[in-house]
Chain A
Amino acid sequence: MHDLLDDYAHSNALRDTSPRLRLLLGLGAMLLCVASATPIAPLFVAVTMSLITVGLAKIPGRFYSALLLIPLSFSLLSAAVVAFVHGGGDSLFAFNVFGISLGIREDGANLALLLIARTFGGMCSLFFIALTTPMIEIFSILRSLGLPDFLVELSMLMYRYIFVFLDQAAMIHSAQVMRLGDAGIKNTLNSFSMLSSVLFLRSWEQGERLIVAMDARCYDGKLDLTEQSGKAEPKAIFAVMGYMIVIAAIAVLTRGIRLL
Chain B
Amino acid sequence: MTSILETKNVVYSYGDGTEALKDVSISLEEGKKIALVGPNGAGKSTLMLMFNGILRPTSGDVLFRGLPLRYDSAYLRKIRRKVGMVFQNSDDQLFAPTVYQDVAFGPVNLGFSVEKAKKYVGYALQYVGLSGYERRPPHHLSGGEKKRVAIAGILAMEPEVIILDEPTSNLDPASSEEIMDMLDELNCGGKTMIISTHDVDLAYRWADEVILMENGGVLRRGTGSEVFGDAELIKRARLKLPIVVDLYKELVNRGLLSDSRPPRNILELTDFMESRNRGMISRVAFGTIHICNVDGEDSEDIKSILEKSHVSYTGAMGTNAKVLAEQAKIPLDFTYGVIDKCILKALAGKTSLIMTSGGMVDHSVKRIRTYCEDSGAKIEVVKLSSLVESSVNSDRQEMWSQKNSTKPIEAVQ
Cα distance A167–B143 in the bound complex, in angstroms: 14
If A210-B92, A212-B54, A226-B114 touch, does A217 touch B109 (CB 8 Å cutoff)? Answer: yes
In the complex, A226→B101 CA distance in Å?
A: 8
For the complex formed, measure the closest distance between the CB of A101 and the CB atoms of chain B, giving whole angstroms: 57
- Stretch with Cβ within 8 A of B (4 or more), from A26-34, A60-68, A156-164: A156-164
A224–B104 alpha-carbon span in the complex (Å): 7
Across-interface contacts of A160 in B (CB, < 8 A) = 94-97, 137-138
Is there a chain A Cβ closer than 8 Å to B192's Cβ? Answer: no
B187, CB-defined interface residue at 8 Å: no
- Stretch of B80-88, B249-257, B332-340 at the chain-chain interface: B80-88
Bound-state CA distance A163–B95 (Å) is: 11
Considering the chains assembled together, what is the distance between the CA atoms of A226 and B104 in angstroms?
Answer: 10
Main secondary structure of the interface of A (DSSP, over half): helix
Shortest CB–CB separation between residue B271 and chain A, in angstroms?
Answer: 43
Q: Which of A161, A209, A217 contacts B153 (CB 8 A)?
A: A217
Query: Would you give the 0/1 interface string for B131-167, flagging 1 where the beta carbon is closer than 8 Å to chain A?
Result: 0001111111000000000000110010000000000
For the complex, count residues of A whose C-beta is within 8 A of B. 35
Contact: A136 with B98, CB < 8 Å?
yes
A222 within 8 A of B: yes
Closest to B153 in A: A217
Residue A10 lies at the interface, judged by CB distance under 8 Å to chain B: yes
Interface residues of A in 126-180 (CB under 8 A from B): 134-136, 139, 156-157, 159-161, 163-164, 167
0/1 per residue, A205-234, Cβ < 8 Å to B? 010011011111111111111101000000
* Chain A residues in 8 Å Cβ range of B64: none
Q: Report if A219-B109 is in contact (Cβ < 8 Å); known contacts: A10-B140, A213-B87, A226-B114.
A: yes
Task: Give Cα A161 to B134, complex, Å.
Answer: 19
| Least CB distance, B154 to chain A, in whole angstroms | 8
Q: Size range of the interface on B?
A: 35 or more
> What residues on A are CB-neighbors of B92 within 8 Å?
206, 209-210, 212-213
Name the residue of chain A whose CB is nearest to the CB of B154.
Answer: A217
Residues B54 and A10 in contact, CB atoms below 8 Å apart: no
Tell me the complex Cα distance, A219–B52, Å: 14
- CB-based contact A215/B54 at 8 Å: yes
Set of chain B residues within 8 Å of A135, measured between Cβ atoms: 97
Separation of A215 and B80 alpha carbons in the complex (Å): 8
Smallest distance from the beta carbon of A130 to chain B beta carbons, Å?
A: 15
Shortest CB-to-CB span from A5 to chain B, Å, is 13
Q: Which residues of B contact A (CB under 8 A)?
A: 52, 54, 76-77, 80-81, 84-85, 87, 89, 91-98, 100-101, 104-106, 108-111, 114, 117-118, 134-140, 153-154, 157
**Known pairs A217-B154, A228-B134. 19 more at Cβ < 8 A?**
A10-B135, A10-B136, A10-B137, A139-B97, A157-B95, A160-B95, A164-B91, A213-B87, A213-B95, A215-B54, A215-B80, A216-B87, A217-B105, A217-B153, A220-B111, A222-B109, A224-B100, A224-B117, A226-B118
Contact sample, A vs B, 22 pairs, CB 8 Å cutoff: A10-B137, A156-B101, A157-B95, A160-B137, A163-B138, A164-B139, A167-B139, A209-B89, A210-B95, A213-B93, A216-B54, A216-B80, A217-B80, A217-B106, A217-B157, A218-B157, A220-B109, A220-B111, A221-B109, A224-B100, A224-B101, A226-B104
